[in-house]
Amino acid sequence: MFALRRQLGSRYYQTPILYRTTGQFSVKVLFTTSEAYPLIKTGGLADVSGALPTALRKLKADVRILIPGYPQVLKNVKNLAPLTVLHFIPQVGTVNLLQGEMPDSDTPVYVIKHPALYERDGGPYLDAMGQNWVDNPLRFGVLSHVAAVLSSGFSPLTWKPDVVHCNDWQSGLTPAIMKFFSTEHAKAVFSIHNLAYQGNFADIWVGLLGLPPQSFQPEGVEFYGDLSFLKAGIVYADSIITVSPNYAREIQTPAYAYGMDGLLRAQSAKLHGILNGIDDQQWNPQLDRHLIHSYDHAHLAGKLANKRALQQQLGLDMNTEGPLLAVVSRMAHQKGLDIVLDAASALLQDGAQLAILGSGDPGLEREFTKLAKDHPGRVSIVTGYNETLSHQIMAGADIFLMPSRFEPCGLNQMYGLAYGTPPVVRRTGGLADSVSDTDISTVKGASALKKGISTGFVFDLATTEDFLICVRRAMTLFQDKQAWHQLQQNGMKQELSWTHSAKQYMAIYRKLIKP
Ligand code: ADP
Ligand code: GLC
């Protein structure tokens, strides 16, 4: 963009572009993301980027997705065709922009085609050895620049967004680039899905990515001597959203903020917490194409059939009365799976079975593999990423375990609710906002279960002891078939879809673009 400014001279600052939305749509949004289901997925960000644009389009927002052209994206986007060429992108010069549609909806998708940056074996962020790609600042600097160009007066497209909605550090530079390089640009919304991933890189990247030297200061993009993509988003966005109200509070405290609590307190006037929803077409036991037996809250026999099918598939004993406990997760410190490991022997002794699907930390993968070897028929571990199995586990398990140390929102606990698989969660982030504890030992607790309020089990401390007490409470209630059935129904009847949250996003967009 520096080069562009030099070339255009003062015209750069004077382009008289007006952003007005016409026609049936009330707002035009460029939804910039580094992953989106079903194109490419490593975690919940993909689920959100797949479902939220669809929910917003139902509310008449003209949402279009911008995503890097990884091989999976090039393969999965429908009707993909060249659209235009963008020039003056720092370090790379030009990139091609392609346009197509999401495979399962008519949501338009803009794809950045740059083979050297994005077309490689491995994941979107990590190489085949599980290490960060060394050129990630460049790969996502380019994503941020392209989003900024398309949202400024310099875009060659006739479609101009009113709002650019950036997600996580990978597009965090966009609001900063727009602020520094153009006077006419869209409003910027920045969603924090996980504050632990900040995109902090050596200061040399400030110049390499075309940011002005004056941006590198504590009030700007500098964070403990590094260039921070996440901080850039927080400082320069017009509105910051995080994915649950509780996490919005937590990240303003030192325990959850990875050094950014002061910054977030200072920006609290523009910080909002909106709970994620779930895609009720993809995650619905009545419609789920991954399941052998469909079911709903009134026909739970299908769930038992899924349990038997899962036990058979995973090599677990089938003639058991005990509950099948399950984990589907990235194996990272955040998720507290070491706590599950520590509690496992006690839970197995109590008669539980354990099914785990996950990948990440090689140490945890090894420990769970050993546990499964030591307990054939009782414990199953599948490492790697498997979308189909994740649905089958959600349907076949009895209790879902999510003892996260922190959890911005969490989607799996909500999938557990929708699938009649009550979750055991730690009281943190979005887990606390989406799961209500069950304790029928008190009159109030028994009435909460009857009234449809209780949905799962919640504990406070990230310790094996607290976790064990909580899972045992769940296992005890599991033996009371009538109470359990009520609990399953409570979860399955919750309104978990995106409809309500999408309206909250719309309200924020509208407020920002109000003339
Ligand atoms: P996070 O984004 O922090 O990983 P979420 O609960 O928000 O946590 O979302 C995780 C998503 O990734 C869910 O859709 C979950 O089913 C999926 N997932 C996690 N690990 C795996 C895996 N090994 N195989 C398939 N899906 C997985
Ligand atoms: C992140 C968070 C998770 C959240 C997801 C989608 O990956 O870790 O809690 O549900 O983003 O917002």
| 192 CA from centroid of ligand 2 (Å) | 9
Residue 488 beta carbon below 6 angstroms from any ligand 1 atom: no
3-state class of 458 per DSSP? strand
Closest-lying ligand 2 atom to the alpha carbon of residue 196: 8
Rounded distance, CA 340 to CA 327, Å?
9
pLDDT at 25: 66
Whats the size of the chain, residue-wise?
Answer: 515
Residue to mutate (ligand 1; options 283, 411, 498; most atoms within 8 A of CB):
411
Looking at the DSSP bridge assignments, the partners of residue 191 are: 167, 241
Q: Which two tokens stand for residue 252?
A: 């303003």
Residue 408 beta carbon below 6 angstroms from any ligand 1 atom: no
Residue to mutate (ligand 1; options 328, 417, 435; most atoms within 8 A of CB):
328
Residue 333 beta carbon below 6 angstroms from any ligand 1 atom: no
- Residue-by-residue pLDDT tens, the chain, 515 positions: 444 443 333 322 233 333 344 456 689 999 999 999 999 999 999 999 999 999 999 999 999 999 999 999 999 999 999 999 999 999 999 999 999 999 999 999 999 999 999 999 999 999 988 899 999 999 999 999 999 999 999 999 999 999 999 999 999 999 999 999 988 999 999 999 999 999 999 999 999 999 999 999 999 999 999 999 999 999 999 999 999 999 999 999 999 999 999 999 999 999 999 999 999 999 999 999 999 999 999 999 999 999 999 999 999 999 778 999 999 999 999 999 999 999 999 999 999 999 999 999 999 999 999 999 999 999 999 999 999 999 999 999 999 999 999 999 999 999 999 999 999 999 999 999 999 999 999 999 999 999 999 999 999 999 999 999 999 999 999 999 999 999 999 999 999 999 999 999 999 999 999 87
DSSP line for 58-111: HTTEEEEEEEE--HHHHHHSEEEEEEEEEEEETTTEEEEEEEEE-TTS--EEEE
3-state class of 189 per DSSP? strand
Half-sphere exposure of 110 (CA within 13 A, CB side): 27
Closest-lying ligand 2 atom to the alpha carbon of residue 247: 9
DSSP line for 371-439: HHHHSTTTEEEEES--HHHHHHHHHH-SEEEE--S--SS-SHHHHHHHTT-PEEEESSHHHHHH--B--
- Residues touching ligand 2 (Cβ under 6 Å) are 43-45, 48, 193-194, 243, 276, 407-411
Residue to mutate (ligand 1; options 42, 329, 356, 382; most atoms within 8 A of CB):
329
| 115 CA from centroid of ligand 2 (Å) | 28
The amino acid sitting at 363 is G
Half-sphere exposure of 283 (CA within 13 A, CB side): 30
* Closest residue by CA, ligand 2 atom 11: 193
| 430 CA from centroid of ligand 2 (Å) | 9
* Closest residue by CA, ligand 2 atom 3: 410
pLDDT at 15: 35
The beta-strand segments (E) located in 258-378 are: 271-273, 324-331, 353-360
Q: Which residue's entry shows tokens 């990515």?
A: 209
Residue 49 beta carbon below 6 angstroms from any ligand 1 atom: no
Q: Which two tokens stand for residue 188?
A: 């910027």
Sheet containing 457-459: order of strands:
379-383, 353-360, 324-331, 399-402, 423-426, 457-459
The pTM score is: 0.94
Structure-derived torsion over alpha carbons of residues 363, 364, 368, 371, reported in degrees to the nearest 10: 60
Rounded distance, CA 16 to CA 272, Å?
32
User: Domains plus CATH for the chain?
Assistant: 5-17+26-277+499-513 (3.40.50.2000), 301-492 (3.40.50.2000)
First to last CA, the chain: 28
